[in-house]
Each structure stands twice: as structure tokens, then as C-alpha cells.
């Protein structure tokens, strides 16, 4: 078990408190709206690092079924309490049959992965043809990125284990794993010190606290010999 996973086990009992805070509630709404806009309306999906299941609960609907996966037992117990289908496991070795899923999404998780490329390879294996992978990440170049780096460097139990990424870095990780970005949006354009959160979806820039990218497997080019 990584130090990050141990940390999530320890903070699980208070993890969702932030979403009750007036600012946290707006951040949740902004992130939920952004993820919702970049995942398919129908099909069976997987949330890797689903934590307490707070996103899966809101994003599930009649024709869009979501399975929660997380290595932190304490976080997953919360997801079960939300009546979510929950599997204990890591994204690095998905306990999912090949070519099963219509989509996968990940919310503030790549920051805590030792090897994001390995996780993306696994996502590709478990997805049907053209299954999408949507990733929400903290924008390393934003004011929110600065804040989380700062609290991490001061020993925050969770963010001391985080590695933040820029949009270009995430794009490269995806390309290395055989995915291509097809769409992207940014939100949280207001800074962490502003209580009124800007929840609009925009073209990604350094102003956005979080960026959401949608990707799909890159088709291998076939080479035909001309006679």
C-alpha cells in the first residue's frame, strides 16, 4: 500500500466535510458539471479512485451505470453507504474483464498515482472499442495548483503525496498510453481565496483551477504497400 493510500484511509471519515463548506459545495458543483459534460450519457462506466463515491452517486442514472474502484477501504465504505457498487483495487491492475466498459473517468486521482501510464494502459484494455477516458486534474499552473503545492510542502497529510500536472503533461501521458485528447474544458476560474466560485466551463487556460480532458484510444495507422 502506498503512503498516499494510507493517508486516504486516515482522512476518510472527514473527507466529504469540504463539500459541505459554502466554497467546497460550489467547487463540487463546478467539477460535477464539467465531468458530466465529458462522459457518455449511456453505458457501463468505471470511476477509478472513486473515494467516497460522491461523484458516482450524482453521475449515475438509469442508462449510465457506474462502478466505483478505490484501494482505500475506509473511503470505499463511504461509497457503499451511498449504495454505490464498489470494488477494492488499484487502477494499476484493474480487476475488470477486457473490452467491458463504455467509459472510465478519474477525478483528482492522477496526482496520487505512482505510474499514470500503467493505469491508462489498463483502462485501454478494459474498454470497448472507442471507450472514452475522462480525467479531471488540478491545474499545476493555476492559483489552486499553487495552493495545493504549498500545503503539500508544509506537510498536509494528503497533498504531501501529490504530484501536480499541466495540461501538456497530461496530454503527453495519454499519448504515451495510446490515447488522444478529443475535448477539454476548464473550470474554477476564480481563485482559492474567493468564496464565490466561478463555475462556468471555459477553454482551458492557466486561470482554471481544474482541467477536464476527454480522450479516446488512438487508432493504429495501417500501412499498405503500394504495388
Cα separation of 207 and 186, whole Å?
8
State whether residue 17 is helix, strand or coil: helix
The angle that helices 116-126 and 167-176 make with each other, rounded to 10 degrees, is: 50
Which residue is at the shortest CB distance from ligand SAM?
51
Contact 46, 40 (CB under 8 A): no
50 belongs to the binding site for ligand SAM (CB under 6 A): yes
The footprint of ligand SAM on residues 100-119 (CB under 6 A) is: 107-109, 112-113
27 belongs to the binding site for ligand SAM (CB under 6 A): no
| Cβ proximity to ligand SAM, 13 vs 219, nearer residue | 13
171: how many CB neighbours lie within 10 A of its CB? 17
Cell 487556460 found at? 205
Q: From the list 70, 86, 124, 135, which residue makes contact with ligand SAM (rule: CB under 6 A)?
A: 70
Contacts with ligand SAM, 75-94, as mask; x by CB under 6 A? x--------------xxx--
186 belongs to the binding site for ligand SAM (CB under 6 A): no
The footprint of ligand SAM on residues 30-49 (CB under 6 A) is: 48-49
Cα separation of 138 and 146, whole Å?
10
Cα separation of 55 and 8, whole Å?
17
- Residues that bind ligand SAM (rule: CB under 6 A) add up to a total of 21
Q: Which residues bind ligand SAM (CB under 6 A)?
A: 4-5, 8, 48-51, 54-55, 70-72, 75, 90-92, 107-109, 112-113
Amino acid at each position: 500500500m502506498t503512503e498516499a493510500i494510507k493517508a486516504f484511509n486516515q482522512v476518510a471519515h472527514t473527507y466529504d466535510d469540504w463539500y459541505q463548506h459554502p466554497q467546497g459545495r460550489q467547487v463540487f458543483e463546478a467539477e460535477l458539471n464539467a465531468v458530466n459534460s465529458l462522459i457518455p450519457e449511456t453505458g457501463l462506466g468505471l470511476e477509478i479512485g472513486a473515494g467516497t463515491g460522491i461523484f458516482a452517486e450524482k453521475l449515475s442514472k438509469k442508462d449510465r451505470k457506474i462502478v466505483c474502484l478505490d484501494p482505500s477501504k475506509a473511503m470505499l465504505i463511504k461509497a457503499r453507504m451511498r449504495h454505490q457498487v464498489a470494488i477494492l483495487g488499484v487502477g494499476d491492475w484493474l480487476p475488470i474483464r477486457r473490452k467491458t466498459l463504455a467509459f472510465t473517468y478519474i477525478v483528482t486521482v492522477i496526482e496520487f498515482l505512482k505510474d499514470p501510464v500503467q493505469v491508462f494502459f489498463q483502462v485501454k484494455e478494459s474498454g470497448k472499442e472507442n471507450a472514452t477516458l475522462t480525467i479531471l486534474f488540478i491545474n499545476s499552473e493555476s492559483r489552486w495548483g499553487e495552493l495545493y503545492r504549498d500545503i503539500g510542502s508544509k506537510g498536509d497529510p494528503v497533498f504531501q503525496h501529490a504530484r501536480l500536472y499541466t495540461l501538456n503533461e497530461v496530454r503527453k501521458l495519454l499519448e504515451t498510453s495510446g490515447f488522444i485528447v478529443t475535448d477539454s474544458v476548464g473550470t474554477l476560474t476564480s481563485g482559492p481565496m474567493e468564496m464565490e466560485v466561478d463555475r462556468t466551463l471555459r477553454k482551458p487556460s492557466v486561470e482554471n483551477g481544474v482541467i477536464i480532458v476527454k480522450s479516446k484510444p488512438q487508432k493504429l495507422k495501417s500501412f499498405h504497400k503500394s504495388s
